[in-house]
Amino acid sequence: MIFFICLNFSLFSTPVFAQTTIQNIYGRNILSLNGRWNYIIDPYETGFYDYRRQPFDQSASGKGGYYDDRKQTGKGELLEYDFDLSPTMKIPGDWNSQAEKLQLYEGTIWLRRKFTADPQAGKKYLLYFGAVNYEAHVYLNGKKLGTHKGGFTPFQFDVTDKLIKGQNSVVVKADNTRHAEEIPTVNTDWWNYGGITRDVLLAELHAAYISDYKIQLAKGNLKKIEGYVQLAGPFKGQNIQINIPEAGISQVIQTDSTGRAPVNLPLHKMRYWSPEDPKLYAVEIIAATDKVTDRIGFRTIETKGQDILLNGKPVFLRGISMHDENPLIPGRLRSEGDMRMLLQWAKEMNCNYVRLAHYPHNETMIKLADEMGLLVWAEVPVYWTISWQNESTYNNAQQQLTDLVTRDKNRASVIVWSVGNETPVSESRNIFMGKLAAVAHSLDSTRLVAAALEVHRKGNDIVIEDPLGDQLDLVSFNEYAGWYWSDPEGMLDYTFNVKFNKPVVITEFGADALSGFHADAATRWSEEYQELLYKNQFRMLGNISGLRGMTPWILVDFRSPRRPHPVYQDFWNRKGLISETGKKKMAFYTLKNYYDSVMLRYK
Ligand code: GCB
């Protein structure tokens, strides 16, 4: 069940909620609703509330709401909007990068797309959104489908009885207003891109269809595939055939009356997935009424003392952090090409690992990581100072985590679920984060659970003692020695005091450098400063006995409203190793050299 809050719950209608999304939407019979959508900017939410601030879609007449997508019927009728005559923007695409006046816009925009359908009797139709930031109200042919909150996770509605033959109209009210009690909260160091930022798809399915499956190696077991297949719709008791032809696997399993069948497949021979050999197997799941194919890699990930074991062998995570943002064409990543470009840059640095910060990235990104051989740290936007004591805030965070795990659980690349970033220790925060960590473990015991923790400085001692660490599999923390604290020379006096006997994977360190600005290494914002900071970080981190990886901050400069310096920043966070024009800074090569040497040591 997707998290929702239906505001203004009224007598007139019962709320409808977005559902758990189908597994592998791209493997289904889908119609893309991407393209140009008409939009209406609505800063006062005039299309949603009447002049007494009552929502139109909860009123008996419903008249006046923009979701209606109506045309003026006669000369005398007053209608103050018209989608057909309104401008268009590209979907998927954030609105901020598509019109100058929207660059800093936070509020409501209505978006509409017309499409033709020919629904068949006996079929099921799902309307699927890859992501809408932040709150979405969705309508089809003037009827409300439901609402969804959370800017980075997918959601869907069953539209089987609302889809009509011929022309249909889908309208989305998207609202990216920040609120203290939401996830994320009001304060973030990234751009609050609004709108429909990922694919919109209409899926046609059989009435009884394969809604979900998990097919992965059992925890720490290279000789067994475990998981389940779940059917939805009528005819739930079925035989299901699972084929992995290249691995010589073909087995029939039986669903129970709830449509669920456990998967348990012994393995003899297999090429295990790894960054060096990202082997993906075609996996077919064939039910009497449905069939779906996926490409799945098989690997195990565990920790043992201070080691991280990939397929039973120690691995060092040569990583880099990244945002879901394209520096070259402003805005969120929109196409596979954009995503490949970022991951390819990471590979050029000899990375085997990426931290997809600070929220769930596009599903396609994770599939590319599978294909290109990059391990992934996936995160939910529980960032900085959340409303720890608010129950609905917690439920929202848990739902976003659940949706992330649901979506990406078959991806070999994902080895870490991160439950948050730099959340300051307090009693209520410890409870909130502890619950999230437990949920992550219970949703998926085959991966590691972590969070980017904060450190304490006691003199020159950097102490890592956050009590949440007890519930996590990795010791991961952000440290800004040399940038926010001291300078690149002074940082060498710091020592680390890690209170946990677990693998240490540093989630962030870094320094801002304006690409092309050269000076001596003591001059802030220069490439030389950033380079020296990286070199000294490697010296400093070398003293941590449990160091098993890192994801410095960050691959590319990214936009942030918190960074207004007119010369050096201009609303860019400049900690990228690559500039906003795609130019590699000196520290890019420093990190690459370090990873080359680490790789030799780990061979
Ligand atoms: C951090 C945050 C990251 C910021 C970064 C910075 O600790 O996790 O989101 O962008 O520092 O540049 O200050």
First to last CA, the chain: 45
Residue with tokens 């207004």: 564
Residue located via tokens 């596009």 = 362
**Three-class DSSP category at 359:** coil
Looking at the fold, whether 544 and 404 belong to one and the same domain comes out as: yes
Q: Looking at the structure, do residues 552 and 409 belong to the same domain, yes or no?
A: yes
Ramachandran bin of 139, using left for φ above 0, alpha for ψ from -120 to 50, beta for the remaining angles: beta
Residue 141 belongs to a domain with what CATH number?
A: 2.60.120.260
Q: Residue 7 — pLDDT band, cuts 50, 70, 90?
A: very low
- Residue appearing with tokens 């923007």: 89
* 201 and 325 housed in the same domain: no
What tens digit of pLDDT does each residue of 345-395 get?
A: 999 999 999 999 999 999 999 999 999 999 999 999 999 999 999 999 999
Vertex 410 angle, CA 255 and 324, to 5°: 140
358: DSSP letter: S
With contact defined as beta carbons under 8 Å apart, do 213 and 230 qualify?
A: yes
**What is the rounded CA–CA span in Å between residue 350 and residue 347?**
5
Instruction: Answer with the one of 155, 181, 206 that is the final residue of a domain.
Output: 206
The verdict on 356 and 460 lying in the same domain is: yes
One domain, residues 224 and 236: yes
Q: What type of residue sits at position 293?
A: T
Cα 366 to the center of its chain, rounded Å: 9
Distances in Å between the alpha carbon of 213 and those of 21, 239, 404, 449, 505?
12, 15, 14, 21, 31
- Token readout for 570 is 């201009």
Q: How far is the CA of 404 from the centre of ligand 1 (A)?
A: 22
Tens of pLDDT, residue by residue over 479-530, are 999 999 988 888 999 999 999 999 999 999 999 999 999 999 999 999 999 9
Q: How many A from CA of 201 to the centre of ligand 1? A: 34
**Residue 424 forms part of a structural domain:** yes
Ligand 1 atom with least separation from CA of 484: 13
Identify the residue whose C-alpha is closest to ligand 1 atom 10. Answer: 189
Query: For the segment 171-205, what is each residue's pLDDT rounded down to a tens digit?
Result: 999 999 999 999 999 999 999 999 999 999 999 99
* Residue 119 confidence (pLDDT): 98
Q: Given the structure tokens 């059992």, which residue do they identify?
A: 218
Q: In angstroms, rounded to a whole number, what is the distance separating the alpha carbons of residues 40 and 470?
A: 49
CA–centroid distance, 120 to ligand 1, in Å, is 50
Output the CA angle 512-513-515, nearest 5 degrees.
Answer: 145
At residue 365, the 3 state secondary structure works out as helix
6 has a pLDDT exceeding 90: no
Give the β-pairing of 88-91 and 29-32: unpaired
Distance 454 CA to ligand 1 centre (A): 11
- Gap from CA of 284 to ligand 1 centroid (Å): 42
Binding site membership of 411 for ligand 1 (Cβ less than 6 Å): no
pLDDT band at 8 (very low <50, low <70, confident <90, very high): very low
How many other β-carbons are positioned within 10 Å of the β-carbon of residue 246?
13
Which residue, chain included where needed, has tokens 């008249």? 63
Report whether 152 contacts 360 (CB < 8 A): yes
- Residue 378 Cα to ligand 1 middle (Å): 16
In a shared domain, residues 121 and 132: yes
What are the angstrom distances between the C-alpha of 282 and each of 67, 140, 293, 298, 363? 42, 36, 7, 11, 18
Mean pLDDT to the nearest integer, 321-335: 93
Q: Is the CB of 575 under 6 A from ligand 1?
A: yes
Number of domains into which the chain is organized: 3
- Judgement on whether residues 263 and 320 belong to the same structural domain of the protein: no
Residue 274: what residue type? S
Is the distance from CB of 582 to CB of 384 less than 8 angstroms? no
Q: Report DSSP letters for 315-338, one per residue.
A: --EEEEEE-S--SSSSSS--SHHH
Average pLDDT, the chain: 94
- Within a domain: residue 454? yes
Rg (CA), the chain: 25
Residues 79 and 213 reside in one and the same domain: no
The pLDDT value given to residue 74: 82
- Asked if the model's pLDDT at residue 327 lies above 70, the reply is yes
Q: Is residue 14 part of a domain?
A: no
Q: Is the model's pLDDT at 17 over the cut of 70?
A: no
Q: What is the CATH number of the domain that holds 218?
A: 2.60.40.10
Report yes or no: 308 and 314 within 8 Å, Cβ to Cβ.
Answer: yes
Is the shortest distance between the CB of 483 and ligand 1 below 6 Å? no
111 and 228 both lie in a single domain: no
Q: Is 325 in the pocket of ligand 1 (CB under 6 A)?
A: no
Domain assignment present for residue 478? The answer is yes
Q: Residues 6 or more apart from 187 whose CB is under 8 A from it?
A: 384, 385
Domain finish residue from 206, 233, 248: 206
Give domain status of residue 4, yes or no: no
| Structural domain range at position 519 | 303-601
422 contacts 379 by C-beta, under 8 angstroms: no
Q: What is the 3-state secondary structure (H, E, C) of 152-218?
A: CCCEEEECCCCCCCEEEEEEEEEECCCCCCCCCCCCCCCCCCCEECCCEEEEEEECCEEEEEEEEEC
Task: Please indicate, yes or no, whether residues 474 and 368 belong to a single structural domain of this protein.
Answer: yes
The answer to whether the CB of 508 is under 6 A from ligand 1 is: yes
Contact criterion met (CB below 8 Å) for 437 and 472 = yes
The one-letter amino acid at 547: L
Q: Which residue has the tokens 């006062």?
A: 44
Q: Is 215 a member of any domain?
A: yes
**456-484: pLDDT as tens digits:** 999 999 999 999 999 999 999 999 999 99
Is the per-residue pLDDT at 431 higher than 60? yes
Span from the CA of 580 to the centroid of ligand 1 (angstroms)? 17
Cα–Cα dist 554/252, whole Å = 46
* Structure tokens belonging to residue 4: 């929702």
Ligand 1, atom 4, residue with closest C-alpha? 189
Instruction: State residue 3's pLDDT score.
Output: 36
Domain boundary among 147, 180, 206: 206
**CATH number of the domain within which 470 lies:** 3.20.20.80
Same domain, 364 and 490: yes
Main-chain phi, psi angles of 344, to 5 degrees: -65, -40
Judged on CB neighbours under 10 Å (0-12, 13-18, 19+), 290 is buried
- Residue 1 pLDDT grade (very low, low, confident, very high; cuts 50, 70, 90): very low
Minimal-distance CA residue to ligand 1 atom 7: 478
Q: Which tens digits make up the pLDDT trace of 382-400?
A: 999 999 999 999 999 999 9
Alpha-carbon torsion 584, 585, 586, 590, what sign? negative
On the question of pLDDT at 602 being above 80, the answer is no
Whether 13 maps to a domain, the answer reads no
**Is 422 close to ligand 1, i.e. is its CB under 6 Å away?**
yes
- Mean pLDDT of the region 23-50: 97
Q: Answer yes or no: do 455 and 558 share one domain.
A: yes
Nearest to 406 by CA among 58, 29, 10, 1: 1
Tokens 């201009």 identify what position? 570
Tokens (6 digits) for 31: 């119609």
In a domain, 5, yes or no: no
Take atom 9 of ligand 1 and give the residue whose Cα is closest: 189
Instruction: Give the position, in ligand 1's atom list, of the atom nearest the Cα of 188.
Output: 9
Check whether 101 has a pLDDT greater than 60. yes
Which atom of ligand 1 lies closest to the CA of 421? Answer: 8
Give the SS3 label for residue 403.
helix
DSSP code string of 215-273: EEEPTT-TTEEEEEEEEESS----EEEEEEGGGTEEEEEE--TTSEEEEEEE-S-----
What are the b/e assignments for 261-286, b being 16+ CB within 10 Å?
A: bebebebeebebbbbeebbbbebebb
Confidence grade of residue 13 (pLDDT, cut at 50, 70, 90): very low
Number of C-beta neighbours around residue 167 at 10 A: 10
Q: 560, 561, 598, 553: which is closest to 577 by C-alpha?
A: 553
SS3 content of the chain, % helix, strand, coil (to 5): 20, 35, 50
Neighbouring CB atoms inside 10 A of 461's CB total 12
Checking if the pLDDT of 231 tops 70, the result is: yes
Q: What is the pLDDT of residues 245-268, one digit of tens each?
A: 999 999 999 999 999 999 999 998
Structure tokens at 246: 């290249």
Give dist(CA 138, CA 92) in Å, integer: 16
